[in-house]
Amino acid sequence: MKCKQKLYKQETATHIILIEMRLWYLLLLPLTFWLQVVASEESSTGSHFESINKSNHTNNWAVLVSTSRFWFNYRHMANVLSFYRTVKRLGIPDSQIILMLSDDVACNARNAFPGTVFNNMDQALDLYGNSIEVDYRGYDVTVENFVRLLTDRWGPEQPRSKRLLTDENSNIFIYLTGHGGNEFLKFQDAEEIGAHDIADAFAQMHEKKRYNEIFFMIDTCQANTMYEHIYSPNILCIGSSKLDESSYSHHSDMDIGVAVIDRFTYFALDFLERINRDSKETMDKLFEILNFENVHSHAGIRTDLFKRDVSEVLLTDFFGNVQNVAVDTTPKDILNTTKRLTRDSASLHALKKLRPRGQVEFGFEDGDSTINFHLSKASSTVLGLGLTGLLLGLWKYAS
């Protein structure tokens, strides 16, 4: 009788152990799936997030156009030359800047300071100087040439220095200033370009893979109407004034006798003068400056075509040409260094620095401590499969 009771207790204990093993199996099984999900998805999620918030461009271009002429439009030439100076200071070379202007101000007979153009009444900065390269001047500043420039529809006779040689990895800053109205901008007081013309030109650029992203800025009366018909992707737009609203000049120089800069351009440049090539300032900070109190008109911003959040867009993505260089700190004699580190267990931590660049890692980090646990994609997959096999073996043993 005692033997039967003892045997019964043993069978009961064994049964309880088997039940516990099955419960552990059910608890650990989700962990194996989670490890494999981390291995397969986290890298793609991270790279997708990074691609959304970064421009991923490889080169920058600027198209700067003053569409007016005559002495009393002095400020329009000062506007465009001011942006020309800014983008050059931030790193875009002359070879990647297309400058279009009438060029009839510096040497105008009414200019009290021949050969100069200023954008401030203190006359501290000569924008004309000796280092500007005008690509299209005088009667070459036409609607036809502007559209051909954007779409690259030229004959073989057109020199490369006057072409916009962009590709699908190019970020382009396009700035227009002059006199305009509801859905039109005047060129040289002789012709007009319409909002639909610009929209169609951008569409051709997209079809021909001529840009990665475009920042379109226009300073003219009723400027916001010029971007309303754009329908191509990855274009960020800003204008100086809404429909039926004028765009105003900032101040005049009594010695020169005319207004020397527009308000919208003045405050944009005043902000950009504070940044350098390595600046992390974002586009939304610039937009905050261009408010009604400063500009005296309602600047408009269009972001629905642009895939990135403007709070994540660096100003240097369009105004600069910063080339980020990753310095390789890997030892020159990497083979022998690796062998020594392998033999020296005390230097095992240094060996991690010699892993191939680009290897995907997944892991857990305690932000308040120095504890780090990382798994490569292959390691996490092997660990997940190993746990799955172990659990299946336990299940078979338990059954």
Q: How far apart are CA 175 and CA 236, in angstroms?
A: 12
Q: Pull the structure tokens for residue 358.
A: 């680009």
The two three-digit tokens of residue 176, written as one number: 């227009």
CB atoms within 10 A of CB 126: 16
Tell me the CA distances in angstroms from 342 to 218, 331, 353, 355, 356, one per residue in order. Answer: 61, 15, 13, 13, 16
Rounded Cα gap, residues 61 and 95, in angstroms:
9
Query: Quick check: is 179 catalytic?
Result: yes
Residue partners of 330: CB distance under 8 A and separation at least 6 = 353, 354
DSSP of 62-82:
EEEEE---SGGGHHHHHHHHH
Residues 6+ apart with CB under 8 A from 240: 218, 219, 220, 223, 224, 247, 262, 263, 264, 265, 290, 295, 297, 299
Contact 238, 299 (CB under 8 A): yes
Set 15, 48, 76, 179: catalytic member: 179
| Catalytic member of 57, 221, 237, 250 | 221
Task: Classify residue 117 as left (phi > 0), alpha (psi -120 to 50) or beta.
Answer: beta
Token representation of residue 127? 């924008």
Q: Map tokens 């010699």 to a residue.
A: 354
Cα(76)–Cα(81) distance, integer angstroms: 9
221 is catalytic: yes
- Neighbouring C-beta atoms of residue 95, cutoff 10 Å: 10
Largest Cα–Cα distance of the chain, in whole Å?
Answer: 127
The residues carrying an active-site annotation are: 179, 221
